[in-house]
Amino acid sequence: MNLKMKKRRVRDFLVAGSLILGMMLIGCGMSGQQTEQNGGKEQNKVENEKISVVATIFPQYDFVRQIAGENVELKMLLKPGEETHSYEPTPQDIIAIQNSDLFIYVGGENDAWVEDILESMPDNGRKTLKLVDCVDTVEEEHVEGMKEDHDENEDESEYDEHVWLSLINAHEVVRYLSNEVQKLDDVHKKTYEENLVNLQEDIQKDAEEVKQVCIYQKEKRIAENALRLEES
C-alpha cells in the first residue's frame, strides 16, 4: 500500500472514529441530563478517575506499567510482534488516542502513521511524549547482508529508533515517563517516584551485568589471541 492510499485510509478511520465518538458523547449527554433530572444524585468523580495512558508498543507500555501499576488506565495499540511501519490503526485505536491523557510513541520513520493521526485531530489537552526526542539517538548500524532501501535521500544518515535498547537511554526514558505521569496524577506522585527509583536500579543492575559480560568477552579474546601468538 503506497503512502497516498495509507493516508487516505487513516482519514477514513478518523471520520469513522469521529462518528463513533460523537455518538458516545451524545449518549453521555443524554445520560447526564437524566441524572440531573433525577436530582443530581451522581456527582462528578473526575478527581477519582484514573488517567488514561496509551502506548503504541510494548516497551513503553511495560515501563509505564512498572511505574504506575494499577493507578492508570493503560492501553497498548500494537500486539507484540506487529510491525509498526505496516500498522493500520482501527477507529477504536484513534478514539483511544484522542481520549487519552498521555499518548506515548517512539517517533521516526516507522511511526509516520502516528504523525498523520496527530495532525488530523485536536489535542483536547492531551499530552504527547515522543521517545526519540527524549534521548540522543545513534546512527543505525547496517549489518552485511541487511536489505537497504535506496532512494533520493541516500546521503541522509539513519538513526536507530529502538532507543530503549540502550540501557543508558532506557534509564532516561523511564524518567521522562514518570515525570509525565506525575504531572497528570500528583495524588500518587510518591508512588511513582518510588517505583521509578526501583526501575532505574533494575536497569542499572542490567547495565552492570552487560558490562561484566563485555569485559569477560574482551579478556577472553585477548587471552585467545595471546595463545595463538605463542603457538605460531
pLDDT value for 24: 46
How many other C-beta atoms are found inside a 10 Å radius of the C-beta of residue 38?
9
Among 80, 74, 87, 152, smallest CA distance to 114 is for 87
Contact, 72 vs 181, CB < 8 A?
yes
Looking at residue 52, the DSSP 8-state letter turns out to be E
Q: What percent of the chain has pLDDT over 70?
A: 61
DSSP reduced 3-state for 213: helix
What was the pLDDT predicted at 42?
Answer: 34
5: confidence class by pLDDT, cuts 50, 70, 90: low
Q: Can you give the pTM of this predicted structure?
A: 0.67
Q: How far is CA 151 from CA 143, 148, 156, 197, in A?
A: 19, 10, 10, 44
pLDDT score recorded for residue 213: 77
- Pick the range with the lowest mean pLDDT from 50-54, 160-164, 200-204: 160-164
User: Which residues have CB under 8 Å from 116's CB, separation 6+?
Assistant: 7, 10
User: Which domains are assigned to the chain?
Assistant: 3-138+156-203 (3.40.50.1980)
- Which of 31-35, 78-82, 221-225 is predicted most confidently? 78-82
105/41: higher pLDDT: 105
For 87, other C-beta atoms within 10 Å of its C-beta total: 17
pLDDT over 60 (residue 33): no
**pLDDT band at residue 110, thresholds of 50, 70 and 90?**
confident
